[in-house]
Structure 1
Amino acid sequence: MKIIPPSYEILDALDQQGLAVRIEFSGRICYKSEDKIDKDSALPFVSKMAEHGHNSVLEMGVVSLRIRYPEPDMLAELYATQPRYLQIDTQAENTLLVTGSVRAFREMLIFHPGCRLVQGMSAFLAERHPYFFATIIPEGGFQDQPGMIMSKVRLHEIDKLPQPLRLKHRHLAVKFIVNRAVTHEIVRHRPCSFLQESQRYCRYADNKFGGEVTFIKPMFYGDGTPEYRLWHQAMAETEQLYLKLLETSTPQAARTVLPNSCKTELIVYANLQEWRHIFRLRTTKAAEPSMREVMIPLHQELTG
Structure 2
Amino acid sequence: MQVELLALTQRNPALTADTVAGIGDLATIFAGQSTYPEAIMEFAGRVCYRSTARMGTAPEFIAARVREGHEDIIEHVVVTVRVTNSVEPLYWRTRNRHCEVTDVGANTWIVSGNTRVWLDFFRHGVALEALPILKAVAPSVFAEFESEEWRLRDWEIERLGEGMQHQSPLSTLHSPIFPSLLPVQLGPMRVTLLGYTRPLLDDPSLLVDHGAATFFFEGISRTCTHQLVRHRLASFSQESQRYVELSKGGWQAVIPPAVAENAEAMAELTEFWRIAEEKYARLRALGIRKEDARFLLPNAAETRIVTTMNFAAWQHFLWLRAVDKAAQWEIRALGQEVLKMLYTIAPEVFAEHWRVYQEQFQ
Name the structure 2 match of 1:189: 231
2:100 aligned counterpart, secondary structure = strand
1:59 aligned counterpart, secondary structure = helix
Match of 2:168 among 143, 149, 156: 156
Q: Distance in 2 between matches of 1:135 and 1:249?
A: 38
Pairing of 1:151-300 with structure 2 (within 5 A): 154=164, 155-156=167-168, 158-161=198-201, 162-177=203-218, 178-206=220-248, 209=249, 212-223=250-261, 225-247=263-285, 248-283=287-322, 284-300=324-340
Deviation per residue, 1:21-79 (Å, 9 max, x gap): 121111111011110013x64x421111222221111111211122223x44x344435
**CA RMSD across the alignment:** 2.9
2:237 aligned counterpart, secondary structure = strand
Q: What is the Cα deviation at residue 260 of structure 1?
A: 0.1
Q: What is the Cα deviation at residue 136 of structure 1?
A: 6.3
- Code of the residue aligned with 1:160 in structure 2: it is L
Q: What is the Cα deviation at residue 224 of structure 1?
A: 5.1
Q: Where does the alignment leave 5 or more consecutive residues of structure 1 unmatched?
A: 1-10, 143-149
Cα separation, partners in 2 of 1:252 and 1:175, compared to 1, 3 Å: same
Match of 1:31 among 49, 63, 67: 49
2:214 aligned counterpart, secondary structure = strand
Q: What is the Cα deviation at residue 83 of structure 1?
A: 2.6
Name the structure 1 match of 2:187: none
Name the structure 2 match of 1:12: 12
C-alpha contact 1:12 1:173 (8 A) present in aligned 2:
no
> How many pairs were matched up?
273
C-alpha contact 1:102 1:132 (8 A) present in aligned 2:
yes
C-alpha contact 2:83 2:110 (8 A) present in aligned 1:
yes
Cα separation, partners in 2 of 1:92 and 1:185, compared to 1, 3 Å: same
Cα separation, partners in 2 of 1:294 and 1:124, compared to 1, 3 Å: closer
2:319 aligned counterpart, secondary structure = helix
Q: Where does the alignment leave 5 or more consecutive residues of structure 2 unmatched?
A: 1-10, 16-28, 151-158, 170-197, 345-362
Name the structure 1 match of 2:72: 56
Pairing of 1:55-134 with structure 2 (within 5 A): 55-69=71-85, 71-72=86-87, 74-79=88-93, 81-110=94-123, 112-113=124-125, 115=126, 118-126=127-135, 129-134=138-143
- Code of the residue aligned with 2:338 in structure 1: it is L
C-alpha contact 2:80 2:199 (8 A) present in aligned 1:
no
2:260 aligned counterpart, secondary structure = coil
Q: What is the Cα deviation at residue 263 of structure 1?
A: 0.1
Q: Distance in 1 between matches of 2:292 and 2:239?
A: 16
Q: What is the Cα deviation at residue 251 of structure 1?
A: 1.1
C-alpha contact 2:98 2:113 (8 A) present in aligned 1:
yes
Name the structure 1 match of 2:40: 22
1:216 aligned counterpart, secondary structure = coil
Percent identity between the aligned chains? 24
C-alpha contact 2:76 2:308 (8 A) present in aligned 1:
yes
C-alpha contact 2:95 2:121 (8 A) present in aligned 1:
no
C-alpha contact 1:49 1:58 (8 A) present in aligned 2:
no
